[in-house]
Amino acid sequence: MKETILFGQKKTVTFDNENVSGINFKYVTTDTALNAVFDKAENGDGHAALDYSVFEKNRLNIAVYQGDNKAHVIFNGTFKEFLDYHFASDRLRLERLTAYGYRENENNAQQISYAFKFDFGTVYNLGRGKRIKVEFEFDALANVTKPNSTLDNTNAYVEVDSIEGIGLQRFSPEIVVIDLENTRKDHTIDLGQNVTKIVYIPSTDETIHSLPFDIDEVAIDSDKHNTRLETPDFVNSFYGSVEPDPNYYRDALCLLQSNVPLHDVTINLNHDNALPDRKLIVCYSVVTASILRKLAEKQEKHNMANQRKALSNPEVEASFQQKNR
């Protein structure tokens, strides 16, 4: 079920009675609107690149409900934080997505769209009162401060749609935004249990461009994985060179990504200066007793159905009877 959220609108989209593995967000606008707002130079195909900081003030909340009760929150933050988390340490992929939009309508040569896909990493089996609600507030674009801005509800909107999934729910992803204290240059944070991903968001302070790098050192300890990274490690890992590129100093960095949940996780971040607006975005993959019970029940049903199907085959039935004589 696809829903459209117009510029200046706040809307809740509900998904029910389907198997959902993620959410698609498609931002649709026009070349004229983008050029008027961002003053971007045109690319080779004749339209402006999208500056995704445009989403700094757009709020996004994705939550799972059981009946009228909110069971858990998958994500709650700005749409820019959502994109920072999703594209952390992958600047090239984000640049490709935002540099060249898709021509949306042959009858409107200037209409283009930018698609962002969010994969849960598991499948939500919705129904019987279980729903996912996506609340998107397309309220005020961060860069729309010009009197001659042409963005309005006729040429800027977001489409929200579910991604169909096959399989069973194995965990609940919960993505949490943590603001770091702006008066401290060193941070020690106990992140707890079931951690699978940690993303660091650098400060937006202009002085960051005069620093050699925003992080001096990071240490992550857990029950299964321990990491120590210093500035040269970041430079080599995220820039592929011996010198960092100042143009990317504000990029989100993926500090940790694990295929299995880590427990007793502690992170230590050391900086040369105390600056505002630094953040961590942490993903928890939570497995509850209810999820395990339902998973076991459904797997048992599937196994029995597969067994009945196999035994209904005459050749399999004959072989089965032969073995049991």
CATH number (domain holding residue 193): 2.60.120
What domain range is 35 assigned to? 1-170
More confident call, 59 vs 206: 59
Name the phi and psi angles at 257, rounded to 5.
-145, 125
pLDDT (tens digit, 9 = 90+) per residue, 209-257? 555 567 889 999 999 989 888 877 766 666 555 555 666 667 888 899 9
Whether 157 shows a pLDDT value over 80: the answer reads: yes
Overall number of domains in the chain: 2
Please indicate, yes or no, whether residues 108 and 257 belong to a single structural domain of this protein. no
Last residue of a domain, one of 170, 205, 235: 170
Residue pointed to by tokens 């606008």: 29
**Dist CA 161 CA 156 (whole Å):** 17
More confident call, 53 vs 135: 135
The answer to whether residue 293 sits within a structural domain is no
Residue pointed to by tokens 């200037």: 110
The answer to whether residue 316 sits within a structural domain is no
Please indicate, yes or no, whether residues 163 and 244 belong to a single structural domain of this protein. no
Of 282, 281, 278, 280, the C-alpha closest to 184 is 278
pLDDT (tens digit, 9 = 90+) per residue, 7-47? 888 999 999 999 999 999 988 877 565 555 544 444 444 44
**Dist CA 286 CA 38 (whole Å):** 40
Q: What pLDDT, on a 0 to 100 scale, did the predictor assign at position 7? A: 80
Please indicate, yes or no, whether residues 211 and 155 belong to a single structural domain of this protein. no
